[in-house]
Amino acid sequence: MRSYGRVVIGNLGCAVIVCFPVPLALLVGYGAWRAGDDWAWIAFAIGGAGSAAIPPLTLRFTRQAFPRITRGDQLKDRSVSYGDDTFVLWAPRSEQGSAQARVVRADVLEASLVRYDPEGGGTFTTYGGNLAPDEFTPLIRMRLHVRDGEEAGASAPFDVTVRWRVPSLCLSAVTAGRLAVLIDPSRPADPADPRVPGRITPLWPRSALLAGTRTCRVIELDGRVTQVTRQPVRQLRQMRISREAGGIEMAGDTIDLRRLDPAVAARYTAVAEQARAAPEDRAPVTEPGEESRWLVDSLPGEAAGFGSVSRRWSRRGGVLVRARFLQMTATHTFQHHGPVLDSVLRVHPADGTPPFDAARRLTVPMSYLAVLHRTRTVVLYAAPNGRSFVVDWARTGLLAGTTTATVITPDGRELPVAGGPEVIWALMNLLASRGLSNPAPVLDLRKRRLSGAAGAVMEALRNSASPVGTQDR
């Protein structure tokens, strides 16, 4: 567990090195003053300005590198109302195709990582203008089953293999297995495959919507609010109306029909009435066969585990708390492990005070983004005084299911617990309260340092309502 103070000290050294030539002017000024030169004050001014820049530069480096959240980060802009089930995702736009292109659904049957190897390691790379540069956009090979059966002129379903660069914010759509794509008959397809009626282009933000990563609701003309998340048939119909109308803006995760052109609103209303007449079952969180498109193990991100803990932090009353992402917005900055995102989180303090929404720029691991359709929960470790919270990506990844969590009992039995996030959460808190670190996803109770907690761990497993030994993927 890194401490904030150590990171500040490390970045202070970096800031001193960066600003080193300017403070040297203080020595030059001192020499000039001793010599009686009139220009000594100029050197003193330059040196003083350079020295004054070191503290803010140190704090800037630390804030960028260390995912610490305080109550000073509380959200100031209240123009968007975030419900407890809201998740707003602002991803880079996709190519829109010609007027003849049709929006259809494509199921991902298989997916594998072809290439992702940007240079720079842990450094931050900022681009001007291009929000999804190829260097930081993984190339994925996919086998798709394209459904094109609801529109006039539609072709029969067909399978096709493609290689597309997937924006990291939309990786969960591939894992979930539902994509929104365009079939453009005006543009040539692969001549070697006559089944493909036109060029296929992915619509990544809409794919995140279709996959259920982005939440969606509709405010109808009478003010009624309808949840449309994970209703792909209705969402596809709405996407086609939106495309034909020239694009309809979503305020947060909501489409308000009262603000649309009456003719367009009438078409949306007809879709709503059709959905009420023939209710659609919610699609599963992930389509069958997720193991054949499980990209998480190939993507960068901090290794998942039960987490490290400082004994001093534990003894002073530090605790783990949970937060939930309410919004993610792409920026121009990237790091090897993932994109740097402007995010909004709802933090639930451990002291029972009401939750608060915090706006924070964070580097979010790509391995976590690939399972964003399942969960938006984040694990934080809270300072003993309860005034600051630090994102713990190792614990977050394990709770999200990026790696199978396993408990090895004192008698050597292996119990996978990936199917029960509440079990994992209980075990994390149990270890943290006792000051026990276990950075790996395997909790081996046969080890001497864990023997004192073995009874409590086994009791937590027995008392849990979640099924132990089942897999979530």
In this structure, the answer to whether residues 424 and 463 fall within a common structural domain is yes
pLDDT of 465 strictly over 50: no
Domain membership of residue 226 (yes or no) is: yes
In this structure, the answer to whether residues 221 and 286 fall within a common structural domain is yes
In this structure, the answer to whether residues 122 and 198 fall within a common structural domain is yes
Q: What is the pLDDT of residue 445?
A: 94
The SS3 call for residue 462 is helix
Question: Is the model more confident about 310 or about 284?
Answer: 284
Question: Is the model more confident about 177 or about 13?
Answer: 177
pLDDT of 71 strictly over 90: no
In this structure, the answer to whether residues 133 and 251 fall within a common structural domain is yes
What confidence tier does 472 reach under pLDDT thresholds 50, 70, 90?
Answer: very low
Chain-centroid distance of CA 283 in Å reads 21
Q: Which single residue is written with the structure tokens 């300005």?
A: 49
In this structure, the answer to whether residues 156 and 240 fall within a common structural domain is yes
Among 292, 322, 347, the domain-final residue is 292
In this structure, the answer to whether residues 133 and 278 fall within a common structural domain is yes
In this structure, the answer to whether residues 96 and 44 fall within a common structural domain is no
pLDDT in tens, 76-134: 877 677 888 899 999 888 887 777 888 999 999 999 999 998 876 678 888 887 777 88
In this structure, the answer to whether residues 144 and 255 fall within a common structural domain is yes
What is the average pLDDT value for the chain, to the nearest integer? 85
Q: How far is CA 293 from CA 178, 208, 403, in A?
A: 11, 16, 15
Long-range contacts of 349-352 (CB under 8 A, 24+ apart): 349/321, 349/382, 349/386, 350/319, 350/320, 350/321, 350/382, 350/386, 351/386
Beta carbons within 8 Å of 22's beta carbon, 6+ residues apart: 46, 47, 49, 50, 51, 53
In this structure, the answer to whether residues 236 and 274 fall within a common structural domain is yes
**Arithmetic mean of pLDDT, 280-298:** 95
Question: Is the model more confident about 431 or about 77?
Answer: 431
Domain membership of residue 390 (yes or no) is: no
Choose the most confident range, by mean pLDDT, from 30-39, 46-55, 269-278: 269-278
Domain membership of residue 297 (yes or no) is: no
- Measured at the CA of 141, the angle between CA 135 and CA 145, to 5 degrees, comes to 140
Domain membership of residue 347 (yes or no) is: no
**Arithmetic mean of pLDDT, 281-286:** 94
Q: Which of 129-138, 257-266, 373-382 has the lowest mean pLDDT?
A: 129-138
Domain membership of residue 247 (yes or no) is: yes
DSSP class per residue in 358-418: EEEEEE--HHHHTTTTT--EEEEEE-TTSSEEEE-HHHHHHHHTSS--EEE-TTS-EEE-T
Question: Is the model more confident about 141 or about 198?
Answer: 141
What confidence tier does 199 reach under pLDDT thresholds 50, 70, 90?
Answer: confident
Given a contact cutoff of 8 angstroms between Cβ atoms, the answer to whether 377 and 396 are in contact is yes
In this structure, the answer to whether residues 95 and 62 fall within a common structural domain is no
Element (H, E) at 430: helix 421-433
Q: For residue 36, what are its two tokens?
A: 């009686």
Q: How many CB atoms lie within 10 A of CB 98?
A: 12
Q: What is the pLDDT of residue 467?
A: 42
In this structure, the answer to whether residues 159 and 233 fall within a common structural domain is yes
Domain membership of residue 391 (yes or no) is: no
Domain membership of residue 60 (yes or no) is: yes
pLDDT of 182 strictly over 60: yes
Q: Which single residue is written with the structure tokens 């094109």?
A: 148
Q: What is the pLDDT of residue 118?
A: 87
Among 292, 316, 342, the domain-final residue is 292
In this structure, the answer to whether residues 104 and 60 fall within a common structural domain is no
Range(s) of the domain holding residue 158: 91-292
Rounded to whole angstroms, how far apart are CA atoms 75 and 82? 11
**Arithmetic mean of pLDDT, 400-419:** 87
Among 269, 292, 315, the domain-final residue is 292
Given a contact cutoff of 8 angstroms between Cβ atoms, the answer to whether 309 and 437 are in contact is yes
Q: What is the pLDDT of residue 471?
A: 36
Q: What is the pLDDT of residue 290?
A: 95
Q: What is the pLDDT of residue 3?
A: 62
pLDDT in tens, 290-348: 999 999 999 999 999 999 998 888 888 889 999 999 999 999 999 999 999 999 999 99
Domain membership of residue 165 (yes or no) is: yes
What's the pTM? 0.86
Question: Is the model more confident about 120 or about 398?
Answer: 398
What confidence tier does 149 reach under pLDDT thresholds 50, 70, 90?
Answer: low
Q: How far is CA 280 from CA 117, 237, 242, 392, in A?
A: 42, 13, 20, 38
Report how many domains make up the chain. Answer: 3
